[in-house]
Structure 1
């Protein structure tokens, strides 16, 4: 992530470069305003060197901006992952709460069953005690009296067995009731253990959720800081591009002055991309696809596949063959008489500065370098330093 100090340092460097370039209008005024001093190649070279320095600095800003945006995208992705993890944990906590609620309801049911079992056990025990008490109150004589009334030994055995069975039944019933109550209590204890485990699980999930929420807030802070850095770099980049545009205009004006010193080579212009005449962006005011705002388009964009040959529109001398952040790989040809043509966004340059070229000669290949959204050729025609609509010079193609 880009630190605030690094952002300020980079901004300071750009400010120094921009300040240095403020002297350019004064320099150009001296060069162009004096009747006795003619514009020279040395003057143009000096101006281009300063423009190159600005281009390098703006390239640094562009790289830093790209880095900040990559970090921002990564932070947003991480935030999204954390958000999904939070949603999963919230669902798990909700499920755990439902389980705990269900266990609590089952425990309450078991407690009710235990209470009912205890009541049943107590009732049966009271009946048992009453029968025992009655036998004690009646005494042994009463018990013997019942037995002596038996008319046969068989009847005696029968009644003795019945009395024993009643007593044994009471004992078994009480034992069964006790066993049932104990089983219910065991089931309740198991449910309570399950509930305790679920409570512990919920506490663990809640701790995880709190930790993730902290990370989520941290990612938000990181994203906000990156957005501030991004805004700073965008501002510096736009300032650099604005200054570069001004310097390039001065260069074009100076180049036009030099071009006037040479006679125009003559002849009509040759279309730079034979077989490809579709204009994807016209000359004039337009909505810039990169800057996302209205700006003046100083040439035309010709749609053509990557690697298509780019031909010189007319004979002349290559006065620029290099790189520009906006134009990417580009070439400027001086045709004399104040006329120049510019070819931008090429994937490869096939000529060098100072080289003489013929009309229709291959000078590069179509590409998408610099400020570009896809393969095309940006083509400009300038007369005395002022751009013209190239279509006006190829009316046969655009009837």
Structure 2
């Protein structure tokens, strides 16, 4: 609760609160600008991460295709290599058979010569030109009837196998060249994938950092907004206190206390509604001594000390309600009853016209007013002698 201070102090407090409000509002504005920037950055980075994820998936698929192509090409090369091995083996077998057949033919020719065989057959079997063998096939068949193949068939088979080996070797060379290109493409795609993954991870780290900063800024904004709300409450309280002080000052300014010829100050400006002496009590309903004045005063009207003195009572006093009693010395005291609130405490020194409290209707009272008494050595006397 804002304490009751002098007007100048309250104005200073209000200026301080306003300055703090401006500062916090500026901090909120700056933080909101930073939040907007970070939110935009988060969206952009998240979109970039999504694009990189798509790119990584695409490149991963391309790499899988490239690797499968390399594997398929390796299988094709392996098949061609197996064919080459088989063809070379067959060619070696054919060459061995051809050599054995040629050796057998020469042996048979020598045997035929030694046994007196035909000179013509010897000439045919002794020739080194296989193309000429066809001329003497009829005769040669007599000599080589036990041979599985003719020399002509073996030569044709050898040439065919050589052609097949050449074709297979050429195919292997082409496949190996293609495989080299595929391996190169696989390496390129693999490098691209590594680069894309690195970019994706970097973007994810950046996104996490931006989100962390955004969270921090949002927490700062929430903190500032809490400070702002508290300062606005404080601002309202100070303003209420200023208005209250202003109202009191206005009341004091328009209702200056009257000063009697004795030098005493009239406690409130209102008229005396019930004087000193016996009267019919308005609440108790019987006649009794009225030991003071009842003076007209609305709730909250400032009550002035009639003259200088020391407060010897400030608090609840039975049927008087909230009461202040001031000792003026020489056995003279004044009493101010039924107050709504007190402005002084026990032992306080007051001067003539100082506010000791505010009018009300506490205690045994029918409505807001001031009950004022003057006593000499404890005995009530008519205030008219002093006012």
TM-score computed with the length of structure 1 as normaliser: 0.47
TM-score computed with the length of structure 2 as normaliser: 0.48
